[in-house]
Amino acid sequence: MDLSCFKAYDLRGRVPDQLNPTLAERIGRAYVEVTGAKRVIVGYDIRLSSRDIADALCSGLMAAGADVFDIGLCGTELVYFATSHYKMDGGIMVTASHNPRDHNGMKMVGPDSRPISSDNGLNDIRDRVLEPFGDAPEQGRYEPLEVVTAYIDHLLGYITTGSLKPKTIVVNAGNGGAGLMIDELEQHLPFDFIKVHHKADGHFPNGVPNPILEENRAATADAVLEYGAAMGIAWDGDYDRCFFFDENGRFIEGYYIVGLLADQFLRKTGGGKVIHDPRLTWNTIDLVNAAGGKAIESKTGHAFIKQRMRDEDAVYGGEMSAHHYFRDFAYCDSGMIPWLLVAERLCQSGQTLSSLIDARIEAYPASGEINRTIDDPPKVIAAIEAKYSPGAKSVSHVDGASIEFDDWRFNLRMSNTEPVVRLNVESRGDISLMKEKTAELLAEMERLNK
């Protein structure tokens, strides 16, 4: 049996050769036997194979003696919400997020929506899949569970709805699941939504929803300009990530959204801790300090961020990859809470999104994440560090190598999920220096890779 769909944080693979209902049924049984879960939430995304895989998963869970609570077609964050809100023993989301159309996968959590990854049970589930299963003392039961009403109430609790004003907002679900939630939220908000690629459709007639790819951004940007919208928002397929466009149709790098949300959240809480990844940091640290908070660096990746947030009781955590985490959302990531907070900020401040972002880009210009395929990543990273660390103000290994000077810094790290090396460079108010150092580092990486 091919178990290559088991990755570091989740399951992902082609259907049906790497993931199929037969394997899903065994995964359900193994999940219960490894975790001991008795009450499990199951949800699934809009992919054509998701319902069949979810049904088989439910069968396996029940065969192992667990009660299944099926929340149906949803986004990943609804599984997180339902698992914690209803105090379940665990939850499984059937989704391949932004991966190709013929792929599918699963994201698993335990009690309180704590992530299950390769270092705390996922490998045990993988290994258990291969072993014979006995009969459970008693078959588990199946129950559909409606969670959208409670979820919408929770989302609206993050904002002061009375402070919202009519605005035109472009929303691009990419034919994923986000459109279903926008339709639910619409009746509670004064916004006029311009809906692009709105209908959930697992055929993905407009391409796989992945707004981080430049070729997938034009539809949102063009609609913002055509309708004179205050901003645009686009999501990936299971809408645990959201991406922003300002009123000029400009795509906003996720790094600057982290700083904006940290500032917005700390204004509400009157202080607190904020977790951020080490790739780009100065803008976030500056805004958190100014808002009376404390910025804390964590290794990149949702399992690391979530655990650090719990350890620190942080109010918010953000990654430049557009994952945003909230203490009151079981420390989990949401693609709906961020845009609600940004919309509230626009209404309360009377400012445009570009005016909120431009000053931050000017203060801390950044390269954005640049990926390169490298034959021997550890060797190249070590050589870069050896060259640049002499004379550096600081060198950190929270995740890869972060090397900081007075007026510029960079982070170079291996991807957790892909065979690439990722480079991020930023400076203090000097875009020419940032571009110069970015080109210099890329040339050095190419030289070392020969």
Look up 97 and say whether it is catalytic.
yes
Give DSSP secondary structure letters for 70-93.
EEEE--HHHHHHHHHHTT-SEEEE
3-state SS class at 4: coil
CA separation for the pair 384, 298 (Å, rounded): 22
**CA–CA separation, 120 and 123 (whole Å):** 8
The CA distance from 160 to 182, in Å, is 18
Q: Which residues contact 202 (CB under 8 A, 6 or more apart)?
A: 46, 47, 48, 49, 50, 101
Residue 378: CB atoms within 10 Å: 10
Residue at token pair 């990486």: 445
Q: Is 74 exposed, middle or buried (0-12, 13-18, 19+ CB in 10 A)?
A: buried
Give me 270's structure tokens.
């009157």
Tally of CB atoms within 10 A around 401? 20
Pairing of strands 324-326, 39-44: unpaired
Strand partners, 345: none
Spot the catalytic one: 49, 97, 298, 427. 97
261: DSSP letter: H
Q: How far apart are the two ends of the chain, measured CA to CA in Å?
A: 38
Which one, of 273, 264, 277, lies nearest residue 295 by Cα? 273
CB neighbours of residue 368 within 10 Å: 16
- Decide: 312 and 325 in contact? Cβ < 8 Å: no
* Cβ atoms 92, 106 nearer than 8 A: yes
Q: Is 97 helix (H, G, I), strand (E, B) or coil?
A: coil
Q: Residue 334 and residue 273: Cα distance in Å, rounded?
A: 18
Question: Annotated active-site positions, please?
Answer: 97
